[in-house]
Amino acid sequence: MSPVPWHSDGFFVEAAAGDLLGRSRPHLTGEIYFQEATSMLPAEVLRAALSNLEVSSSQPLQSSASDTGRRLRVLDACAAPGSKSTQLGNWLEGQGGLLVANEADPGRAEILRTNLLRAGVVNCLVTCLDGRELGDLAPELFDAVLMDVPCSCEGNARKDPGSLLRGSGGAPSNDGTPPIWHRPLVEMQWELMRSGWRALRPGGYLVYSTCTFNQWENEAQCVKLLEADVATELGGFRASAVDIAAVLNFPPSAASAIRGIAPLFSEKAQGQRSKGQSHNYPKV
Ligand SMILES: C[S@@+](CC[C@H](N)C(=O)[O-])C[C@H]1O[C@@H](n2cnc3c(N)ncnc32)[C@H](O)[C@@H]1O
């Protein structure tokens, strides 16, 4: 085993050790959880943002219940099977915070609940709702929102090479929008993002993540959120991108290797123009 450099609780495990650990008591009792190291990034970014209050914020969040007089509220809007929820829930417990872990699919919501129980996360509500409704159901309720949306899963290429073709195949249309077959998924992701944004309180943080590579499902969605006219549509609150390499204290060499790192992470600011760079991604 070797440590994950940017996460003190993370370890890379050799396949043979993984087989053994997969049948071990710590796995069954939820003391360890298997996932790709990159899967830990979104929750770690959110955790670091909520902890590192010197990161630019017009309305800084307080890191603990004793500072604020109330508990941090975090929403994981697409949460099953729960890798990120267990990560966030364990951290939030130490902060006296509350996690709402939502999953639209009832069967997967049950797996999510089981995994949270196994991991000993009790400061948590599991809901089974369409994430696209959460913004209207709980407007501006959360200090932080994780939108780990359903995607074309190109990141599974190692396990499933066909995922690369499914994600990126097909010619883009002439106007720079995604291929037609791709649009329903992209549209759903955008509706989820918009709902998450509504559920976020001003000054809060939203992390949008996928396990896919193509720009329509990633950068283009974040750029859309950063655009001024969208801010008007979403209640006048502008998003500003935050440099997550700085949040995670990544060295510049590592940061430049991570594509789209800045727009991944958005801060909800009132009356501010977007601090994002100029972007040249296609329209969603
Ligand atoms: C990428 S997976 C989430 C993985 C999870 N965050 C984790 O780290 O374990 C996306 C999840 O979103 C769920 N989902 C799909 N459509 C949804 C919707 N409209 N609202 C909420 N969840 C949805 C899927 O069933 C799937 O479980």
CATH of the domain at 51: 3.40.50.150
Q: What is the pLDDT of residue 275?
A: 38
Domain identity same for 49 and 5:
no
Q: What is the pLDDT of residue 21?
A: 84
| Backbone region of residue 178 per phi and psi (left: phi > 0; alpha: psi in -120 to 50; beta: other values) | beta
164 near 154, Cβ under 8 Å? Answer: yes
Specify the residue for token string 């010619």. 171
Q: What is the CA(281)–ligand 1 centre distance, in A?
A: 25
Q: What is the CA(13)–ligand 1 centre distance, in A?
A: 26
How many domains in the chain? 2
| Regions of the chain short of the pLDDT cut 50 | 53-66, 260-264, 271-284
Domain identity same for 8 and 102:
no
Minimum CA distance residue for ligand 1 atom 11: 78
Q: Give the integer Cα–Cα distance in Å for 197 and 122.
A: 26
Q: Does residue 179 lie in a domain region?
A: yes
What is the token pair recorded at 124?
Answer: 């948590």
Domain identity same for 127 and 27:
no
Q: What is the pLDDT of residue 267?
A: 67
Q: What is the pLDDT of residue 282?
A: 39
Query: How would you classify the pairing of strands 124-127 and 98-102?
Result: parallel
Range of the domain at 177: 39-270
Q: What is the pLDDT of residue 253?
A: 65
Read off the pLDDT of residues 136-151 as tens digits, 9 standing for 90 and up. 999 999 999 999 999 9
Annotated binding site for S-adenosyl-L-methionine: 78-84, 103, 130, 148
Domain identity same for 18 and 156:
no
